[in-house]
Structure formats: C-alpha cells, structure tokens
Amino acid sequence: MGEAEATPSVVVSHVDIVYRVFAGRRPGSRGPRSWLSRDEENRSVRTVHAVKDVSFVARHGESIGIIGRNGSGKSTLLRAVAGLMPPTNGHVWSDGTPSLLGVNAVLVKQLSGARNIYIGAQALGLSREEVDDVYADIVEFSGIGDAIDLPMSAYSSGMAARLRFAISTAAVPPVLVVDEALATGDADFRARSRERIEGLRERAGTVFLVSHSAASIRSMCDRAIWLDSGELVADGPVDLVLEAYQSSSKRPPRSHPPAEPDVPGVERWSGDTRYHTSALTSRRGLQDQTDTVVLASGADLALALACVPGGASVAAPVLLTHPTRLMRTTRAEIERLGPQQVVLAGGPGIIGAEVAEAVDALGVVVHRLGGDDSVATSRVMLTDLTEVTTLDVVYLAPVGESGAVLTAAISSEPGTSRVLLVGEDGLTAETEAALEQLSVRVIRVLADDDTLDGAALERLRSLAREGVQRVLTPTAAAAAAAVSQDSHGRGVDVVYVASADDTAVGDAVTGAGVAEMAGAPFLLVERDDVPQVTHEELERLAPSHIVLLGGPATITPAVRARLADYLVSDADDAGPAPAL
Amino acid sequence: MTGSTVSEGGGLPLPSPLSPAEAADLARRHGLTPLAGRPRLRSYVAQVWERRQFILTLSSGQSTARYQSNRLGQLWSLLNPALLVVSYFLIFGVLLRTSRGVDNFVGFLSIGVVLFGFSAAVIGAGSKALSSNVALVRALRFPRAALPISVAMTELIAALPALGLLLVLMPVLGEPIRVQWLLLPVSVLLQVLQITGLSLVGARLVDISRDLANLIPLFLRISRYLSGVFFSIATFSAGFPEPVGAVLRYQPFAVQLETARQSLMAEFPFEPQVWLASAGWSVGLFVVGFVVFWRGEGSYGRG
C-alpha cells in the first residue's frame, strides 16, 4: 500500500510520562513520619507513571486509533503527541504544531460565539486576518446561524460542542488529535465531522483518535495502537489490533497483561470500560429489581457522581451510559433490573437522543431530567427525582474537580443531602434561585476561593438556615472513612473499595450507590496505596469480604493483595465465600 | 491487508522501536521539530511576539467578560474605583481631615489607591496565570508567557476607566491641567513592564510550588504599606538612616506611584532620578522576569 513511502509526521521515541497530582492534604497520613519526611510521595503531592517507554512513528495520511482500557494512559500519550504534556523521558518530534480538539479551554462563556471564534482560532495559531477568512466557514459548519452573536453561556451544550469542533478544525493542523470528541451532536453533525476529519487526513495530515469504542476506531482509522497500563501492547493494522484487543477483553487473564494472582476474599469487579464496570457492579451488587434506574453520561463523571445521592434516595442505581448510544452491557443491565422508569441525567446534549430511543424501545418510561450542562442538571437533580422541599445538607462542589465531587457524593446522606455542582463562573443566579426554593439547613462548600469567593459565601449564608461551611481539607478517602465510621459497626460482611484517583472516578459512580443500597461501607484507596484513614477504618470494620471496583490499572494487584490482610476469616462456619 | 507485521504464532503486531539515535535521525531528515523542551530564548521571544494578536484578543475578551453578568455591565469598571475614591475621600478628607504633609491629600490618595490596586491585580492574577489555567495549558500549544502577559493586558484594559477617572478628578480637586500630564502614559507603561516582570517570576514560582501562591497576597499587603499609598513615602523614609530610606523611596512600587504623582500633581515636581529609576526597574524586572519564566518553559503543564 505504499505505506513505506509516506513521510513521517510524528516520531515518538521511548517516551515516559510521570506527572504530579495534587491530592489535597491527607491528615495523619502514615502517622508522624509524613510531616517529618521530605519524600514528596508521602505528602499532598503524588506521582502517576502514566506512559511507559512508548515509541512509534506516525506518517502523513495515516489515521491512527488509540485504544485501551480506562486509565491506560491513552489521553496522556496524546497530550504528549500534541506537545501539551512534556515527556519526563524520551522525545517527541512533530511536523508543525499539532492541534488537540481542546479549544474549549480558552473560550470565554460570557462572550458571543463570534468573539470566541476569534479567541479560539487565534489560540490555535491563526492570525486575525486568517480568522477573517475562515469566519464564515466556521459559522456555517457549526450550524449556529444568528445565535453566533449571543453569548456562549446561552448555547445548548450541543451548540457549544459544534462550535468548538468547527473552530478546532478550522486551522487545518498537520496533526490533529481527537479525544472522543465525536460523541457530540446529532447524527447529521457527526457525519459531517467525520467527513471533515477525513478531509483533513486527505490533505496529508495525520489524525489521532482516542476512543473506548472499537467501532468508531474501526470506521475511522487504518492503524491502531493499543495501550495497557501505559505500555504499548500492539501497533499495527486496525483490524488485527482490534481483534486482539477484543479477544483479550473477552478472556481477561491472557498472557498480556500478566494474569493477576487470585486473592481469596478480595473480589475484583472490573470491565473493559467504565460502562462495563458500571453495569457489572450493578449486576453483582443488586439482587433485586428496582423501580427506577438513573442513567448518567460516562463522559461527564462529575455529574454522574452528583446524581448518586439523589438516586440512592429513591433506591435507584446510577448506571453510566455512553453519551450517544446504549451499549449492550448497559441495556442488558437495565433489562435485568426491570425498572418502571429510567431517568436520563441531562438534556440531549449530555445524553443523546439515540440513548433515549434505545431505552424507550425496551418498553420503559424515559424521563429526562436536567438541562444543557452538568451544572444545570445537578440543579434539577436536587429536587426532581424525589420532589423534596427541604434538605439537610447541600454540598457545593466545583464541576471540574472530580475529587471534590466524589467527596461530596460520599458525604451526602441519601434522602436528606444532595450534591450541587458549580461551574467556572461560580455562584450563578440560577444556583441561588434553586437553593432559595429549598429550605436547606446547612450548605457545605467544597470549592476554594477561586471558584466561590467570600462574597459568594456571604450570599449563600442567607440561603441556609444554619449557615455555610467551607470544607476543603478531607480527601475523598478521609470522607469515605468518616461516613463509614458513623454508620457501620465492627465485623461487617462486605466492604466496597474503589479508587480515589481522578482518572478512575468512573468506577466509583455505580459502586457508591450500590454499596449504600446494600448497606455496606464504601471506602477508597489509591492506585498503588492504601491511605492511612482507609487502613484504620478497614482494621476497625474487620470485613469478611472485600469487593474491589475497577481493574488492575486503577487498583494494582499489590493493593488487592494488601487488602486481604484486613479480612477476618469466617472459614470456621461458612466454608467457601457466599456469592455476593 | 499486508499482514507482514504479524508473526506466525498469532502474536500481536508490534514493530520494534527505533533506537533514540535512529529516531532523532529520522526526525531530522524529515524536518520534524522537537515538541517538548525549551526553545532558545531568541526564538521564544519571537514566538511570543508572533502571538501578540492572540494575547490582545484574549485580554480584551477577558476584560469584557468581567462584568458581563452584572446588570450595570461595564459601568462597574468605572463605578468600582469611583466608589473607592469617594469612600477614601469621606474617611480621610471629611472625617479624619488628615493631610499627612500633603496639600491635596485626596488626590494623592486616589492616585495611590488606583495605581497600586492595578499593580496588585496584575501580580495577584498573573502569578496564578498558569495554575488557574491548567486546562488551557494542557489543551493548547503556545508560548506560556502569553498567559501572564495577557493577564497584565486584561488588567490594564480593566484599569483604563479608573485612570480616566483620575484625570477627571484632578481638576475637581484643584490641580491645574499641565503639560506634565502627558507623562502619565509613560509612567503607566513603565509600571506595566515592572509588574508584568514580577508576575512572570510569580507564575514560575507558583508553578514550582503551589504553596507559594498563599504568600503573594502577603507580599502585596506589605508592599501596599511600604509604597506610599496612604502617606508620603518621602516623609516616612526620612525617619530611617540613609541606605534604608533610599531603598524605601526607590523600590519599584514607590517609584510607580511617585512618577504618577509627578505627572498629575503640581506639588510633586519632576525629578529625573525617580524616572530613571523607574525606567531601570522596567527594563530590569521585565527582562529578569521573562528569562526566569522562559527557563521553566517545557515543564509547564505537567502537573
């Protein structure tokens, strides 16, 4: 096929990426040694080795799919390819400046779409004159029409996504990196996006596409790269790599990655993607049918977490769904649960019409709750699921900080507490209005001064009967341990354990609700460590079984083995562990 | 389907990687450029200069967005400093009737409040320009110095109404309209260079350790009291032995306010040595800040 003649566009040579994560304070972590130690790892900063010795050469005209499980380092690798995440070791060379479909980070919501076209396209490197030339084309492609002169905050999330895509692809970059961005918009727009990407590729560019979905990679790419735990597993023609990837996911213990030793009593529930993990967790954790099932988009984990307390209040599990189609595993789980209604968390821009249609086809009543973005949806979720008029505690968490949202979701007592998301624009009039209609006892703010300043807290004070507290210190793991301590005695049957890492938060969504409904404690660990707070609580709980949510990439086999130390043997009477 | 990459045993296609030297050679032969790492200072300056339009577009956008959600909108950029000056006038001019050795104390105070407020806003926001824009840094590729510089531009645009207000206020307070007023833009320009330099250093420091972000408000508060916002620094520094007094008079923030007052107020005569000091600080702080920031380029965005 003449592949050998095509000139290289990107050379990636032995790249390692280790990055820092600011995990917030960990009170008492590892005892007094932690604040005496100078070792960064013991303090609030941790490191993640996300990409390990990856090398490949991409050529002009290729479109390359990157596939791998959750947390396998796909997005991090692509950030390095786009020149955004400097490699810790190794080198990346590229033809010109690659462009990641990430222009939304620079757009200013309060300004008009027209003004944002100039900001976004100039951020991509176009000059003002060049933007003048492509302006009409961007507006036309996005299909926004006269609304282009309205502020972007007035756009639906679908409109905003279309505009972002149109801006991002206006520059004809030599290397375009697409991170699951094609999941937005209606079928017509997706077809046009696909065409546009094909056009870019034909103009001798190189396109990288990250996706969980083998189907979208198969339809758009001719070559695939498979990453697992940050390592390159395969690199070759798309059909061969996908075949290997899919067969590996059907038979998990294969030669690569090395089979994990079984740890009796510590069961691992993990699927290929967050959607599989979510459905599996519900299937294994909930024996009974439920009246209601909440579907939340797996592309918006903060919102999914924020739905957990509301869902638990009506004994509804929160299942993650792919934003634009109902995956087989999700559909099967809905059918098993046999609900009377399925609640979709968010408008059609968050969960596509295709999902609603597919659920409807199962003969289940579909209710859409919520608005165009996650903040608006969390606002609706405050009350509409259970129609309460009063709440004990409302947690305000920034939409961009999944750690804080996880803390809030775990700390919320079902039935009486909820999580409300706040966006970058802080406390909006809509949020205030939503709180005003409720009689809230306490508002707890898990956002720092940058998101909600003193003036915002002052305004909130008038909306809560017993005041406002800003809570910044506890990590999600500490919050989970505290909740467990308050509600469970020693000697529980089963403890659910998920990862507190930002990248693995998806695995916690369904598990948090399922644990609540099963009356089981829910604790958090790190990928490769058991935090001190969790350690102490596990010692106190002395469980008979532990359920681990997520694969070896999100919670290492070493942590799984360590967790076995906390088990109290029930071998005397029970024999083999009862099925959970 | 070529199939050449698959071995007989059904193993996975995985071409063996090039050695680092081979990869470097391949990249060089095809004219590919290294993505990470720090460009040479000269080409970094060129890159920032190339992005000047983007910096301006972003800055004017950000400053327009600032009051967008308020009903009175942009009027607030005028109302805020006006209310501040009025309140200081009531407290110091009417209630306390203090003058502290200055004839036109309200004019003196207004200049101090508006211009030091501008410096504090630039340094406060500029130091956090990277840490509060991690998403942006991780999403788009551009010379990162554009961020602190754009913050300075945003604050400058936002401060223009307040500067205009000063010009209206001065004749009201009895200051004659003089040719020296033309020096005010020069004074502000020198100030912008100085504080942009400081915020470039601040942004690098905060990127190295976020804890340092907590010290910046403290630094600004101390500077506020040591720079002659509320009282004449010349009178104040006279109480100290000479080297200390000179340091207090010639530190950047004091010089910024002094040149502005010499431009607008008749009782502050033009002193060339103050303007020279300001020009020296401008070049020195901006160059040092830019170089310090540039040395971290290539590591921004990792965490």
How many Å apart are CA A393 and CA A411, to the nearest integer?
10
How many Å apart are CA B275 and CA A206, to the nearest integer?
54
How far apart are the CA of B170 and the nearest CA of chain A, in angstroms?
32
Residue A56 has pLDDT above 80, yes or no: yes
Cβ of A13 within 8 Å of Cβ of B68? The answer is no
pLDDT of A11 = 92
A464 DSSP 8-state letter = B
How many Å apart are CA A285 and CA A514, to the nearest integer?
6
**By the CB < 8 Å criterion, does A388 face chain B?**
no
Using a CB-CB cut-off of 8 Å, the residues of chain A touching B64 are 110-111, 115
Among A433, A393, A423, A425, residue whose Cα is nearest residue A409: A393
Q: Strands, E, within A23-144: which ranges?
A: 45-59, 63-67, 89-94, 99-100
pLDDT of A235 = 92
Question: Does the CA dihedral A301-A305-A311-A315 come out positive or negative?
Answer: positive
- Residue-by-residue DSSP string for A522-540: EEEEBTTB--HHHHHHHHH
pLDDT of A43 = 46
Cβ of A98 within 8 Å of Cβ of B138? The answer is no
Judged by DSSP in three states, A225 sits in: strand
pLDDT band of A572, cuts 50, 70, 90: very low
Domains of chain A: 3-98+173-248 (3.40.50.300), 260-274+474-580 (no CATH), 290-472 (no CATH)
Of the two residues A463 and A20, the one the predictor is more confident about is: A463
Other residues' Cβ atoms within 10 Å of the Cβ of residue A114: 16
**Tokens 């996975």, located at residue:** B12
Q: What is the CA radius of gyration of chain A?
A: 24
Q: Which among B36, B128, B135 has CB closest to A92?
A: B36
Interface of A with B in 146-165 (CB under 8 A): 151
Of the two residues B148 and A386, the one the predictor is more confident about is: B148
Q: Per-residue pLDDT tens for A530-547?
A: 888 898 888 888 888 899
pLDDT of B258 = 93
Q: Number of C-alpha atoms within 13 angstroms, CB side, residue A22?
A: 14
**By the CB < 8 Å criterion, does A8 face chain B?**
yes
Q: Per-residue pLDDT tens for B41-56?
A: 998 999 899 889 989 9
Q: Which among A7, A14, A124 has CB closest to B20?
A: A14
Which residue type is seen at A63? S
Q: Please give the angle made by the CA atoms of A266, A267 and A273, to the nearest 5 degrees.
A: 135
> Is the link from the previous residue into A257 a cis peptide, with omega within 30 of 0?
yes
Cβ of B26 within 8 Å of Cβ of A55? The answer is no
Q: Which pair of structure tokens corresponds to residue B266? A: 């008749």
Other residues' Cβ atoms within 10 Å of the Cβ of residue B52: 12
Distances (CA, A) of B204 to A328, A559, B290: 49, 36, 10
Using a CB-CB cut-off of 8 Å, the residues of chain A touching B18 are 11, 13, 55, 57
Residue B6 has pLDDT above 60, yes or no: no
Q: Percentage of residues in chain A with pLDDT exceeding 90? A: 8
Buried b (16+ CB within 10 A) or exposed e, A206-222: bbbbbbbbbebbbebbb
pLDDT band of A85, cuts 50, 70, 90: confident
Interface of A with B in 15-44 (CB under 8 A): 19-22
Report whether A374 contacts A405 (CB < 8 A). Answer: no
- CB-based contacts of B243: which residues, under 8 Å, 6+ apart? none
> What length is written for chain A?
580
pLDDT band of A313, cuts 50, 70, 90: confident
H-only helix segments in A124-202: 128-142, 157-168, 187-202
How many Å apart are CA A169 and CA A99, to the nearest integer?
9
**By the CB < 8 Å criterion, does B177 face chain A?**
no
Using a CB-CB cut-off of 8 Å, the residues of chain A touching B299 are 86
A209 DSSP 8-state letter = E
Report whether A48 contacts A501 (CB < 8 A). Answer: yes
Q: Per-residue pLDDT tens for A248-272?
A: 765 444 444 455 777 778 888 888 7
pLDDT of A28 = 42
Q: Which pair of structure tokens corresponds to residue A213? A: 């979905």
Report whether A94 contacts A10 (CB < 8 A). Answer: yes
CA end-to-end span of chain A, whole Å? 53
Residue A33 has pLDDT above 60, yes or no: no
Q: Per-residue pLDDT tens for A176-233?
A: 887 655 555 567 777 787 788 778 777 767 888 887 677 778 878 889 999 888 888 8
Angle in degrees, 0-180, between the axes of helices B146-172 and B183-208, rounded to the nearest 10: 140
Interface of A with B in 454-473 (CB under 8 A): none
How many Å apart are CA A171 and CA A138, to the nearest integer?
10
Other residues' Cβ atoms within 10 Å of the Cβ of residue B33: 14
> What length is written for chain B?
303
Q: Which pair of structure tokens corresponds to residue A529? A: 């460590």
- Return the minimum-mean-pLDDT range out of A89-103, A412-426, A467-481, B171-185: A89-103
Interface test with A, best of B12, B154, B295 (most A CBs within 10 A): B12
Residue B197 has pLDDT above 90, yes or no: yes
Q: Which among B35, B53, B54 has CB closest to A83?
A: B35
pLDDT of B236 = 75
Which segment, A527-536, B76-85, B127-136, B233-242, is predicted with the most confidence on average? A527-536
% helix / strand / coil in chain A, to the nearest 5? 40, 25, 35
- Return the minimum-mean-pLDDT range out of A168-182, A235-249, A437-451, A544-558: A168-182
Which residue type is seen at B222? I
pLDDT of A256 = 44
Angle in degrees, 0-180, between the axes of helices B146-172 and B105-127, rounded to the nearest 10: 170
Among A475, A463, A392, A389, residue whose Cα is nearest residue A430: A463
pLDDT band of A101, cuts 50, 70, 90: low
Extract long-range pairs of A78-82: CB within 8 Å, 24+ residues apart: A78/A177, A78/A179, A78/A208, A78/A210, A79/B138, A80/A12, A80/A15, A80/A17, A80/A51, A80/B35, A80/B36, A81/A10, A81/A12, A81/A175, A81/A177, A81/A208, A82/A175, A82/A177, A82/B141
How many Å apart are CA B205 and CA B189, to the nearest integer?
25
Report whether A121 contacts B151 (CB < 8 A). Answer: no
Which segment, A87-101, A497-511, B162-176, is predicted with the most confidence on average? B162-176
Average pLDDT along chain B: 85
How many Å apart are CA A509 and CA A499, to the nearest integer?
11
Other residues' Cβ atoms within 10 Å of the Cβ of residue B273: 9
Residue B141 has pLDDT above 80, yes or no: no
**By the CB < 8 Å criterion, does B57 face chain A?**
yes
- Segment (H or E) for A380: helix A374-381
pLDDT band of B126, cuts 50, 70, 90: very high
Judged by DSSP in three states, A476 sits in: helix
Q: Which among B57, B65, B137 has CB closest to A118?
A: B57
pLDDT of A183 = 52
Residue A372 has pLDDT above 90, yes or no: no
- Segment (H or E) for B288: helix B272-296
- Mean pLDDT over A497-502 rounds to 86
Question: Does the CA dihedral A266-A271-A272-A277 come out positive or negative?
Answer: negative
Q: Which pair of structure tokens corresponds to residue A102? A: 């990430």
Q: Per-residue pLDDT tens for A436-452?
A: 888 888 888 888 877 78
Residue B67 has pLDDT above 70, yes or no: yes
Among A546, A544, A551, A519, residue whose Cα is nearest residue A534: A546
Other residues' Cβ atoms within 10 Å of the Cβ of residue A403: 22
CB contacts < 8 A (A, B): 182
pLDDT of A526 = 86
Q: Which residue of A has its CA nearest to B124?
A: A450
How far apart are the CA of B238 and the nearest CA of chain A, in angstroms?
39
Which residue type is seen at A486? D
**Tokens 């390819």, located at residue:** A81
- Return the minimum-mean-pLDDT range out of A78-82, B89-93, B96-100: B96-100
Q: Which among A85, A235, A450 has CB closest to B301?
A: A85
